[in-house]
Amino acid sequence: MKRRDFIQLAGLGTGAFMMPAFAMGRNVSPEAFLEKSIDTAVKKRLADAALNAAKSKGASYADVRIGRYLNQFVITREDKVQNIVNTESYGVGVRVIANGCWGFAAVVDVHNETQMAKAAEDAVAIAKANARLMKEPVQLAPQKGFGEVSWKAPIRKNAFEVPIKEKVDLLLSVNDAALKNGANYVNSVLFLVNEQKYFASTDGSYIDQDVHRIWPIFNITAIDPKSGKFETRNALSAPMGMGYDYLQSNPSDKITGITTRYNKGYDMLEDATAAAKQAKEKLTAKSVEAGKYDLILDPSHLWLTIHESVGHPLELDRVLGYEANFAGTSFATLDKWQSKNFQYGSKQVNLVADKLQEGSLGAVGWDDEGVNTKKWDLVKDGVLVNYQAIRDQAHIIGEKESHGCCYADSWSSVQFQRMPNVSLAAGKTPLSVDEMIKDVKKGIYIIGDGSFSIDQQRYNFQFGGQLFYEIKDGKIAGMLKDVAYQSNTQEFWNSCTQVCDEKDYRLGGSFFDGKGQPSQSSAVSHGSSTTRFNGVNVINTARKI
Amino acid sequence: MAILSKEEAKKIIDKVLAFSKADEISVGLEGNRTGNIRYARNSVSTSGETTDLSLSVTSIFGKKSGTSTINEFDDASLEKTVRRAEEIAKLAPDNPEYVPMLGPQQYSETHSYAEATAAINPDFRAKAAFDSIDPCAKKNLTAAGYMEDTAGFSAMGNNKGLFGYNKATSVDFSITVRTADGKGSGYAARDYNDASRLSTASATEVAMQKALASASAKALEPGKYTVILEPTAGVDLLQNMMRSMDARNADEGRSFLGKKGGGTRLGEKLFDERVNIYSDPQNSEIPGSPFSGDGRPQEKVMWVENGVVKNMSYSRFWAQKQGVKAIPAPSGFIFQGGTESLADLIRGTEKGILVTRLWYIRAVDPQTLLYTGLTRDGTFYIENGQIKYPVKNFRFNESPVIMLNNLEAIGKPVRAGGNLVPPLKIRDFTFTSLSDAV
């Protein structure tokens, strides 16, 4: 499902709620979530049936993914529960290489070895048929087997074990707080995901993993009926690779300042209270004067700029042209990487890919082709040094092993290269946000993500936000509205002059990042500390109709 | 197997209804076969086919609702699904916006199903891809394309006597052709209910011409320009506007249709008087389903007439509350046009920019329907009625409402993304920056 479809579902932006027919699995009662997944010994037996069948039909490689995917969405507006969606999807995907070509087949609700063998045989038959159209055989980077291993997200409280009533009560109290503080309308949603994934391959790996994700959001609207104007303020939460513990915040999770922001614990009630007041304040805020400003970007905003201008252009399949018809290609071509001196950003800019980061959306023990996850540099001291590559791409950039960033959004989807967490490293010298602002003559401080758009090669972009504050001579001078900035990726990252230290480092992220045809969704985090960019072009987005 | 006849579907639905112990029950039954083929770098990358048949049961007790789905069809499974929906409903909180289910409805028959599409097989897909890749490879151009075909049916029934059944097919094709040096890129897209109308070769020919013609583009200063938006470019902005015509948002004052001092702009002239937009599931070019997702009949509806907002879409709850007819949102729209072709519009343009495609369109301000995005895959400068040279891509910040007030000319509509959209000539279209992307 595409990110924008979910945005539409959640009513963010328009206030309209839509409930599309989900291709996410069958609807179940919440109690079904508490039933145990099938035993790993049974999964191993099923997986072996498929691997053996694939080999006997002539596959040179095979992998099997047995997946149980749980989703729970609680959707409310004002004093009403609009919908509670509970879905479960269980099935198997078998991927093989035969005659040098990939083949894939998937089966729903698999419970015996005969079904597994049949899926493997179908995958081999497809590979052999496609091999006739193939130009170059698949080259797979070597990967050692890990035997029987497991990984569990380090959650403190499984969200699926929390009663629905508790979740409904939380959202309705959030809505109530917003309405009491000046909101005219409020929508709030809790998205919960649990992926129970078992991977096995002919390399000798049998990997059992339990992945959890959570995303609490709201959208608050304040209206001035006299002028007919309205303003909105969305939640400053981040989607996280955490359990329900994300909603139990401690004082140490809060970053105070012009508005409170959150680290590994989110106080939804407090944020909604502030949001309602800020949405009202926006109605009378000063409309920005277009021009060049120094931008101070909070991590709750900068994650999206990193995602679009660094994460996507450094996906190797885009660079090579495999996404040309849809998502596009990339300006970060192989020759720029080969030159070893392509200045992606200023010396302050260190961008890191990381599939290990605790609490992040991308963290797993192994990726969806059995590669152990890792951390690697993409941009070091401003210079482009690497891409994101999986097993069948590693040789193209001279790597001996995959980066471990292969993912499929379901047992029924073919795994392919997906963005790992891509983050801006914190500054090495101590620097707080207040110290950073003190030095700015004419600037705008932006908090929260808003409108986003970037071209198909990732040069030209435009971003909005949730909260904008004018900075005049080192001091915050008041709230602004109608702000969007436009820049070019390389120019923008080279205008980066300062990055706050690790005390300010926080994660943001995308819960539903779309890629591929047919489109697949993945979840990815982006960390940063507050960062300064000098002389960025700001436009005024106010119009009259 | 996935496509059941009307009689087969009714038999299953009636059986499920008979299991019900709830106050109300509705049953949805859907089946389809979907296939696709994807290629890039002149080589097929993925191809597949899936079939699905699934049944969904919604049970109601008072104002509590529960839904359960299944894809097994023996009596025991069907009954279990009804029981599960009833259990979920009993546990659910009351929905204060619940509206009782509809009784029997009259649906007119539409022509949304074509045998040629239902008959698509892997050989057809492989040939479609070959017809697109081969001419590109021969001219040292690189093709990346995608075709997806679906054939299916949708049926619904409830214990108030409603029953509906519709079969539909669709095929969507898009192709991007790039020059070997990466300096030129062209695009074309086609969609039909009837696959016999699709020629991947002729669509690819258009994309090839655009790729070659767009190489080595010149940079023009951003600013306000007269543009000709091809239907593939205009459709996305228009679609976004049509999806924003929900009455509740307008009544609540958070829509472009909200009015200063309260109320809505229904009945106001918001656009140039030549703007006429309607929907009609019977239209032979874009035949649609005769019913909406909740069983309301889809009828011909005028949304904008002579520039005046004539209708907004309603949920059944909101329509009941406001005491008006509950008109559902349409699945596709028809923007009435003239007789001029795209070539005629170009010939009649002294100075302007021809736009093939718009990309990464995102809302900037829902109040004014301001959108941003970029041109892509073929942007050209027109002078004295002729295409003079390719230009670099632009970022735009523009509202379809403003755009439809700056209308210069309307061409002959063609099908785009399930809608009928004419090429539109617009003055003062706002480009705010340049992009280096090809």
Residue A463: closest CA among chain B residues belongs to which residue? Answer: B364
Residue A537: closest CA among chain B residues belongs to which residue? Answer: B433
CB B144 within 8 A of CB A329: no
Nearest C-alpha of chain A: how many angstroms from B341? 26
Chain A residue numbers with beta carbons less than 8 Å from the beta carbon of B250 are none
Residue B14: what pLDDT? 98
B53-66 per-residue burial string, b: 16 or more CB within 10 A, e: under 16: bbbbbbbbbebbbb
Chain A residue numbers with beta carbons less than 8 Å from the beta carbon of B156 are none
Nearest C-alpha of chain B: how many angstroms from A164? 9
Residue B122: what pLDDT? 86
Rounded Cα distance, B148 and B125, in Å: 9
Local confidence band at A25 (pLDDT 50, 70, 90 cut-offs): low
Query: What is the average pLDDT across A316-335?
Result: 96
Residue in this structure with the two tokens 């052999």, named with its chain if needed: A128
Chain A residue numbers with beta carbons less than 8 Å from the beta carbon of B397 are 462, 484, 539, 541
Q: In the Cβ-directed half-sphere of B182, how many Cα atoms lie within 13 Å?
A: 15
Residue A106: closest CA among chain B residues belongs to which residue? Answer: B50
Chain A residue numbers with beta carbons less than 8 Å from the beta carbon of B182 are 329, 333
User: Which has the closest alpha carbon to A191: A59, A11, A354, A395?
Assistant: A11
Tell me if A451 and B261 make a contact (CB, 8 A cut-off). no
Nearest C-alpha of chain A: how many angstroms from B179? 12
Rounded Cα distance, B130 and B144, in Å: 12
- Quote the mean pLDDT of chain A: 93
Residue B180 has pLDDT above 90, yes or no: yes
Chain B residue numbers with beta carbons less than 8 Å from the beta carbon of A129 are 122
Nearest C-alpha of chain A: how many angstroms from B337? 23
User: Which has the closest alpha carbon to A387: A353, A424, A340, A349?
Assistant: A353
| Phi, psi dihedrals of residue A34, rounded to the nearest 5° | -85, -10
Supply the DSSP string of B160-193, one letter for each residue. TS-EEEEEEEEEEEEEEEEETTSS-EEEEEEEES
| pLDDT, tens digit (0-9, with 9 covering 90-100), for A146-185 | 999 999 999 999 999 999 999 999 999 999 999 999 999 9
Local confidence band at A197 (pLDDT 50, 70, 90 cut-offs): very high
Nearest C-alpha of chain B: how many angstroms from A529? 26
Nearest C-alpha of chain A: how many angstroms from B340? 29
B362: nearest CB among A21, A412, A452: A452
Residue in this structure with the two tokens 């109040």, named with its chain if needed: B367
Overall CATH class of domain B6-212: alpha beta
| Phi, psi dihedrals of residue A436, rounded to the nearest 5° | -65, -45
Chain B residue numbers with beta carbons less than 8 Å from the beta carbon of A26 are 54, 68-71
Residue B1: what pLDDT? 53
Chain A residue numbers with beta carbons less than 8 Å from the beta carbon of B48 are 104
Residue A357: what pLDDT? 97
Residue B72 has pLDDT above 90, yes or no: no
Residue A204 has pLDDT above 90, yes or no: yes
A455: nearest CB among B122, B176, B435: B435
Rounded Cα distance, A357 and A525, in Å: 9
Residue A14: what pLDDT? 28
Residue A101: closest CA among chain B residues belongs to which residue? Answer: B45
B47: nearest CB among A27, A130, A456: A130
Residue A17: what pLDDT? 27
Residue A352: what pLDDT? 98
Tell me if A321 and B146 make a contact (CB, 8 A cut-off). no
Query: What is the average pLDDT across A480-498?
Result: 98
Residue B163 has pLDDT above 60, yes or no: yes
Q: Among B42, B94, B174, B395, which would you mutate to test the A interface (most chain A Cβ atoms within 10 Å of its Cβ)? A: B395
Local confidence band at A8 (pLDDT 50, 70, 90 cut-offs): very low
Ranges in chain B annotated CATH 3.30.2290.10: 6-212
Tell me if B393 and A84 make a contact (CB, 8 A cut-off). no
Chain A residue numbers with beta carbons less than 8 Å from the beta carbon of B361 are 453
Nearest C-alpha of chain A: how many angstroms from B283? 25
Chain A residue numbers with beta carbons less than 8 Å from the beta carbon of B87 are 29
DSSP structural state of residue A311: I
Point out the least confidently predicted range of A107-116, A441-450, A492-501: A107-116
Tell me if A324 and B178 make a contact (CB, 8 A cut-off). yes
How distant is the alpha carbon of residue B71 from its chain centre? 27
Chain B residue numbers with beta carbons less than 8 Å from the beta carbon of A16 are 246, 248-249
**pTM of the model as a whole:** 0.95
Tell me if A541 and B364 make a contact (CB, 8 A cut-off). yes
| pLDDT, tens digit (0-9, with 9 covering 90-100), for A208-222 | 999 999 999 999 999
Tell me if A457 and B436 make a contact (CB, 8 A cut-off). yes
CB B158 within 8 A of CB B58: no
What three-state secondary structure class fits B78?
A: helix
User: Which has the closest alpha carbon to A233: A215, A214, A218, A216?
Assistant: A218
Which of A25 and B134 is assigned the larger pLDDT? B134
Residue B25 has pLDDT above 90, yes or no: yes
Nearest C-alpha of chain B: how many angstroms from A307? 15
Query: What is the average pLDDT across A107-121?
Result: 91
Query: What is the average pLDDT across A401-406?
Result: 98
Q: What angle do CA A78, A304, A521 make, to 5 degrees?
A: 75
Residue A24: what pLDDT? 56
| pLDDT, tens digit (0-9, with 9 covering 90-100), for B92-148 | 889 999 999 999 999 999 999 999 999 999 889 999 999 999 999 999 999 999 999
Residue A23: what pLDDT? 41
Overall CATH class of domain A3-283: alpha beta
Rounded Cα distance, B260 and A431, in Å: 47
Residue A143 has pLDDT above 90, yes or no: yes
Chain A with chain B: Cβ pairs closer than 8 A: 204
Chain B residue numbers with beta carbons less than 8 Å from the beta carbon of A541 are 364-365, 370, 397
**End-to-end Cα, chain A, rounded Å:** 33
B3-23 per-residue burial string, b: 16 or more CB within 10 A, e: under 16: bbeeeebbebbeebbebbebe
Chain B residue numbers with beta carbons less than 8 Å from the beta carbon of A322 are 40-41, 45, 144
Rounded Cα distance, B88 and B95, in Å: 13
CB A131 within 8 A of CB A102: no
Residue A20: what pLDDT? 30
Query: What is the average pLDDT across A125-149?
Result: 90
Q: What angle do CA A117, A121, A125 make, to 5 degrees?
A: 170
Chain A residue numbers with beta carbons less than 8 Å from the beta carbon of B252 are 15, 184-185, 223
Cα dihedral A20→A362→B44→B51 (10° resolution): -40
Nearest C-alpha of chain B: how many angstroms from A253? 31
Q: Among A109, A232, A325, which would you mutate to test the B interface (most chain B Cβ atoms within 10 Å of its Cβ)? A: A325
Residue B375 has pLDDT above 50, yes or no: yes
Residue in this structure with the two tokens 């039954």, named with its chain if needed: B29
CB A441 within 8 A of CB A283: no
B75-89 per-residue burial string, b: 16 or more CB within 10 A, e: under 16: eeebeebbbbbbebb
Q: Residue A298 belongs to what H/E stretch?
A: none
Residue B424: what pLDDT? 98
Rounded Cα distance, B202 and B193, in Å: 18
Residue B276 has pLDDT above 60, yes or no: yes
A225: nearest CB among B253, B361, B366: B253
| pLDDT, tens digit (0-9, with 9 covering 90-100), for A341-391 | 999 999 999 999 999 999 999 999 999 999 999 999 999 999 999 999 999
Tell me if A28 and B84 make a contact (CB, 8 A cut-off). yes
ipTM of the complex in this document: 0.94
C-alpha separations of B2 from A130, A459, B292 in Å:
25, 45, 21
How distant is the alpha carbon of residue B161 from its chain centre? 31
The domain limits of chain A are: 3-283, 286-540
Q: Residue A503 belongs to what H/E stretch?
A: none
Rounded Cα distance, B181 and B358, in Å: 23
Point out the least confidently predicted range of A87-101, A455-469, B204-218: A87-101
Rounded Cα distance, B367 and B253, in Å: 9
